[in-house]
Amino acid sequence: MSRYSRITGTGSFLPPKRVTNAELATQLAANGIETSDEWIVERTGIRARHFAEPDVGSSELGVHAARRALEAAGRQPSDIDLIIVATSTPDMVFPSTATILQNKLGIAGCPAFDVQAVCSGFVYALTVADAMIRTGTASRALVIGSEVFSRILDWTDRTTCVLFGDGAGAVVLEASDTPGLLASDLHADGKHVEILCVPGGVSGGKVHGNPLLRMDGQAVFKLAVGVLDQAARAVLKKAERTEADIDWLIPHQANIRIMQGTARKLKLPADKLVVTVDQHGNTSAASIPLALDVAVRSGKVRQGDTVMLEGVGGGFTWGAVLLDF
């Protein structure tokens, strides 16, 4: 009998502090940086985002999302035998955020590790968990995307600091006799490292290089729409499905223009595109599971629906997953 994996529960968590564009513009103006709600909305579609408090890390956001996913799946932490956390903003250099989160859940023994593929991280992590379940290495996995991108933003660069927010999303992925995750397609191309990166590091107890996010927005935009379309079509081909089979497209929530461009290439109507970027901003690896949970809890995504997840991020990394929910 074939062994597959299916999502049985979703969860998400946003830090309580919500900052609108107008509020952010006021804060930036105090530092001599000019922007406005109109400027941000026109270019990105973002209207608000959430920021974590200084003492709250990715593991804390992630554990809240994980508990909600477990509740939705009808599972206890002790039922989990694999934890994968997708994050670019870990609590520490090491150990992994996954092990810290594991301890906060009150469990021990199962493998727990981080995946770092920036905004594509959740798609990467989900693909790894699916492979481990299919081979029998695991049976019930927690796959989490959690970020505190507010910690790595340059608040003097209005082209980037208005884009990002903090948050976490999670799914419980379980072994199944019927297909859930139908196909995945992952890629990376390191020659594009410089268009989106944090070009700094820690050595000898000191920061070397620039520890804040840098992005060439135009270059990212041009690359993103093309590679997302390629990954989406590759996944459909692997799954022997067509664009018409997609009930919901849940892309990485980076920029409404990129998201709409991807939907148009797949000939999908606007009402099949799940959009949360307006309220969350870009939460990197957390954005896809956050949007999925919002869509599930609002009644949009239902059992039996076919869902396309896709992400693109620094590295340059990109990928897509097609699943039956």
Q: Hey, which residues are catalytic here?
A: 119, 252, 282
Distance CA(288)–CA(303), nearest Å, equals 18
Contacts 24+ apart (CB under 8 A), 102-111: 104/59, 104/60, 104/63, 105/63, 105/66, 105/67, 105/77, 105/80, 106/77, 107/77, 107/78, 107/80, 110/80, 110/81, 110/82, 110/83, 110/138, 111/81, 111/82, 111/83, 111/138
Find tokens 């932490």 and name the residue. 77
Cα 284–121–24 angle (5° rounding)?
Answer: 5
Distance CA(291)–CA(303), nearest Å, equals 16
| Structure tokens, 296 | 């599930």
